[in-house]
Chains A and B, each alone.
Chain A
Amino acid sequence: MTSPLENLETQLETFIENVRQIKIIVTDFQGQGQNVFNQKIQTIVTGLQEIDRLKSQVQDVHVPLEVFDYIDDGRNPQLYTKDCMEKALSRNEAVRGKIDAYRRFRAQLLVELTNVFPAEMAKYRAIRGDERPIS
């Protein structure tokens, strides 16, 4: 059983093919082609009706607007997916680096504060119930 997206894709391709055939007929039109041409026009209308009917099946499909920018520039939309994943990965690594930096800073700060204010830091650790090691 084909998915709704595949159905829609097939229908769109059929529609585009139909339009292409009309273009060929019109480019060098002959009198006897009028009936075929009329038939093709009616097929366009039924194609549009079919596409309109299929839209309800893909209501839950959400497309990010940035993909449209890729398509408008004539670029492959799969590049958007690739760029998204790479961006997510690099952001993840950047945040991990920040968290690590803050952790090391906290450890270092506790060490230095303990050296300078031993009593206060003892109280602080007692209040915090800090079980984590300083370094």
Chain B
Amino acid sequence: RGYSSAISKKSKLILYNSTVIRIVGSSVIGGSFWGGINQADFPVVDSTGTLKATISLGKNPSIVTAGPFYLVKERPTDTELTGATNLMAHYGLEHSYNKSSGKRVRDTLSSFLPLLPGYIDSPGHMDGSSLRLVIDKPPVGGKELLPLNSLQMTGFRLHSGPLPEQLRSMYLSPQKKKHKKHKHKHKAGDTPSHQESSAAELAAAAEKKHKKQKRHDDDKERKKRKKEKKKKKQKHSPEHPSSAGGSSQILNPSLGLMKTILE
């Protein structure tokens, strides 16, 4: 390790790694150093060989008794409250915890707010109704809220009749974000900031409806064609009531054919 020790009667100096730090104490035996301790009280037996000393030099070199041990600091005061205590019991929250853990809490938001209409369990970022958005981009406020005068109310005059299908479906099912843009006639009262997002939603809803309608029509046609085919087959089969004159109706033409063959 490389330390040297200088033995003298009164003051001893030990250099650790050739660095002079501080001088302490009285006598050294065999490289060990005890500062501020009476030898008569404690037998100086060096069993470590690597105890360090401290030296303070300057205009007025002083002997500072740092204790026999290197880096011994004052013990921190014992605090009453540590992590080892049961903090739930300490703060009187045990009852609340037992109550909350015992109660079965449903996962959905609608179970917490059952009185709210509409579908509220959808993620807020999908329809731009997230609370995070309100925090990140707070709406313009601070203006006085005043009732609307008659001139302003004229902007809310509506035309009679039901809403168009694409607008109506907005309220029925959860909306999925789509990137198509579509122009719509908006009723008075729609704010410009909502128009773009609502237009995209309307287009998505409209397309969905259109596809559904098409599928429904296709199914209908297919069923019609099947029925016609069946009728034709039944007409030509020998078991048909018009040809045989019987009262029983043969539902499965192939079965009817097999019957005639067997007969």
C-alpha gap A13/B113 in the complex (Å)? 10
Q: Which residue of B lies closest to A77 (CB)?
A: B112
- In A61-105, the 8 Å CB interface with B consists of 65, 68-69, 71-79, 81-82, 85-86, 88-89, 92, 95-96, 98-100
Besides the known contacts A27-B168, A85-B97, 7 further A-B residue pairs in the complex with CB atoms under 8 A apart: A27-B163, A29-B160, A34-B158, A38-B156, A69-B132, A71-B109, A86-B101
Check if A123 sits within 8 Å of B42, measured CB to CB: yes
Q: Which of B72, B88, B132, B153 is A68 in contact with, Cβ under 8 Å?
A: B132
For A73, list chain B residues within 8 Å (CB).
123-124
Quote the shortest CB–CB distance from B146 to chain A (angstroms).
7
Contact between chains at A74 and B123 (CB < 8 Å): yes
A16-57 CB mask vs B (1 if < 8 Å, else 0) is 110010010011111100100110011001101100100000
| Contact assessment for B105 and A78 in the assembled complex, using a CB-CB cutoff below 8 Å | yes
Asked if B191 CB lies within 8 Å of chain A CBs, one says no
Question: Total A-B residue pairs with C-beta atoms closer than 8 Å?
Answer: 135
Interface, chain A (partner B; CB < 8 A): 13, 16-17, 20, 23, 26-31, 34, 37-38, 41-42, 45-46, 48-49, 52, 65, 68-69, 71-79, 81-82, 85-86, 88-89, 92, 95-96, 98-100, 116-117, 119-120, 123-124, 127-128
Near A by CB (< 8 A), chain B positions 115-151 give 115-118, 120-125, 130-132, 135, 145-148
Q: How far is the CB of B75 from chain A (nearest CB, A)?
A: 7
Closest to B124 in A: A72
For chain B, residues 52 to 98, give those with C-beta under 8 angstroms from any C-beta of chain A.
Answer: 67-69, 72, 75, 82-88, 93, 96-97
| Cross-chain contact B87 with A88 (CB below 8 angstroms) | yes
Closest 8 CB pairs of A and B: A95-B83, A72-B124, A74-B121, A68-B131, A72-B130, A99-B84, A76-B112, A28-B162
Distance of A60 from chain B, by nearest CB (Å): 19
Tell me the complex Cα distance, A74–B85, Å.
36
How distant is the Cα of A128 from the Cα of B72 in the complex, in angstroms?
Answer: 10
Which residues of chain B from 158 to 183 have a CB within 8 Å of any chain A CB? 158-163, 168, 171
Task: State how many angstroms separate the Cβ of B59 from the closest Cβ of chain A.
Answer: 31
